[in-house]
Structures are given as structure tokens and as C-alpha cells.
Amino acid sequence: MAKPLKDNYDQTYLRRLSKEIAKAEPAFPSQKMLKFVFDREWEQKELKQRMRHITRALKQFLPQDYGAALNVLKQAAPQFGGFEAMFFPDFVEVYGLDDWEPSLAALEHFTRYSSSEFAVRPFILQDSKRMMRQMKSWAASKNEHVRRLASEGSRPRLPWAMALPEFKKDPGPVLPILEKLKADPSEYVRRSVANHLNDISKDHPDLVIDLAKVWIAGKPETRWIVKHGCRTLLKQGKPEALALFGYHEPHALEVQKFHLTPKKVAWSGEIQFEFELVSQSAELGQIRVEYAIDFVRQKGVTSRKVFKISEGVCSASAKFYRCRYSFKPITTRRYYPGLHRLTIIVNGQEMAERQFHLLSETDSSN
């Protein structure tokens, strides 16, 4: 089992951090900082709580002058990377909102080694026009991490981050940035643009479809952005989005030999299902095959989740599919017992369905 990310903040990591800081600030009290970090509440803290606690420790023991503290952190930052090192930009997020010029320079520096995508958002909320001017400048940077920040930091629905209601309502200010980066040479940047586009599609589907119609004629890299950026619209079965990629209403297709077992699924068990997709004409053609599960939620309501099985051109007149889905508990989805529904979807159209019961943990053990 993989070690939780929060446990990477251990004694070894914090001692290394203290050592690097002390190179730039010899008077830094390393032992006092370690004692501050590993307090009585440390074990109960989750990942982002630990990150913020380290940020507060740095504030406690670095020079109290904000600019001087930033200079120390900027010297230490190149020795750290990944998600763990995001306490560097977090320091700016917490303590730098009243001092924009050095703060933005520091965020640009820190994002090269970890990411400032969370830390820029309070600045956007405070003054979006000023911040978007900065984002446009970052979008022209020679450094791919800085260019990515221009897109990732302004996503309206960035996971784990505070939302940007202004851009949910009107994404217009971010579109020039996405336009500039849509053919970026870095896949790292292009993936951010695609995810940003997908965020926008949840509030403005027609805008994204109109944009996709223009972008899809561009470079192959941009076509990938369009496809990935339209993934929510494709899963929702939006006809205009599906048509962009050649997936049209399946008039001559049928689902046959559809079997699902078991009909009563034990807690932490799995279902298995199989079916044959048959064309009444010469070939199946261009098809996108998915299945949806209407999961039972609290108070008996249901919530649908769509899973892709395959997509592409099939020259055969029939194709057989066999799939399974596990109800083994995972951190990103919570299951509830009750009547569930599984639906086969082809090119956005529901073709066939079956029902099954997920038993409670108690019933499964009897």
C-alpha cells in the first residue's frame, strides 16, 4: 500500500528543509522550528493542514520582514519539488496579499519547482483585472511551468482549490490565455488548457462547443486539447460535441445478449456484464461505447457516473464486450446499498439497461 502523501512531511524532510534555509539564513533556529512543526496535533493533521502548519512555522522563525523572508525561501526552493514543496507558494498566499510586487515575483519563481496554482487564486479574487494582466505575461514565459500557471491558476473549478465565481459566471477574461497556449510545445501546458476548457464546459457548454469547432481544425496537439476538454460534454451525450469527433446517432445499431451478474452484489464485491453490439448495416462504423451506473446516494437519490469502454472505427458488423466493475471501497467514491442501474450507451444514446442490488455490509455477511 502506497504511503500517504502527507507522511512525506517527516523528520527527514523537515530537517533537510531547515538545513537548506540555514544556508541562506545562518541564524535560523532549526530545532525550534522542528519542535513547532511536530506538535501534539501533528498526527491528526491531513495533507493540506500539514502544509499550512509548515507555512506558519516558517513565518514564526524566518525574518519578520516579508521581503527578507521571501529572499530566504527563494534560495531554498530549488532544492525541493513536487506537491510537497507547495508550502513555498503557500507562504505567499497567506502573508503576501498586501505586497503584490514581490509576491508575484516569488510565485513565478516557486512555480518552477512545485506549483503556485493554489496560491495565485486569492490574488485573482482580490483584483482579477490586475492579476489577469500578470497571467497574460506569464503565458508568454519561456518556462513551461510559468506558462502552465497562467492556465492552471485561473481554472474556475481547480480541484482542491478555492473556486473562482467570477470566471464561472464569465470565462471571457481567461480565453485569451487559453488561445495563446492552445498549441503550446509543452504537453504539460496543453493538458492544463484541456482541463481548463473542461471546467468551462460545465457552466458554458455552448461556448466550449463553439470554441471547439474552431480549434479542432488546428494542429494535432490542439485537436487533442479539444477532445480532452470536451470529455464532460461527451459523457453527457451532447450531440454537437459527439458530432465534432464523428460520433452520430446510432440508428442501425442494437445491443444484444446483454447479461449482468450477480443481481445481488455483496458489499465490496463486483458485477460482471457482457453484451454484443450489432449493426443492421455492413459495419459498426465510428462508435463510442460507454456504460453508466446510477449509484444510490444518501436518502435514496441516485447519481450517474459514466465510464468509457472504447471508441474508434470498427469495420465489423458486430462486436462483443465483457466488462466488470468493483465496489471495493475507494477514497474518491462512497457506496450505499440499494437498487442500482447499469446502462449501455453508444454515441451518447442509451441502448439497454439492467438493474442490480448492492447489499449492505451487514446483509453481505449473513
Q: Measured between alpha carbons, how far is 180 from 279 in angstroms, rounded to an integer?
A: 43
- Could you tell me the CATH number of the domain that includes residue 332? 2.60.40.10
Q: pLDDT for 147-166, tens place per residue?
A: 999 999 999 999 989 999 99
DSSP 8-state secondary structure symbol assigned to residue 10: S
Task: Kindly tell me if the per-residue pLDDT of 348 is higher than 70.
Answer: yes
Indicate whether 146 and 73 sit together in one domain. Answer: yes
**Residues 6+ positions from 334 with CB-CB distance below 8 Å:** none
Give the number of domains in the chain. Answer: 2
Indicate whether 317 and 170 sit together in one domain. Answer: no
Task: Kindly tell me if the per-residue pLDDT of 308 is higher than 90.
Answer: yes
- Could you tell me the CATH number of the domain that includes residue 150? 1.25.40.290
Q: pLDDT for 178-222, tens place per residue?
A: 999 999 999 999 999 999 999 999 999 999 999 999 999 888 889
Indicate whether 297 and 206 sit together in one domain. Answer: no
- The predicted model scores a pTM of 0.89
Indicate whether 259 and 283 sit together in one domain. Answer: yes
Residue 322 near residue 289 (C-beta atoms within 8 A):
no
Taken in order 123, 21, 47, 196, is the CA torsion positive or negative? positive
- Specify the amino acid at residue 199: D
Q: pLDDT for 258-307, tens place per residue?
A: 999 999 999 999 999 999 999 988 899 999 999 999 999 988 799 999 99
Compute CA distances 5 → 82, 313, 334, whole Å: 11, 41, 21
Indicate whether 195 and 53 sit together in one domain. Answer: yes
Indicate whether 152 and 171 sit together in one domain. Answer: yes
Indicate whether 282 and 227 sit together in one domain. Answer: no
Residue 38 structural domain: 5-244
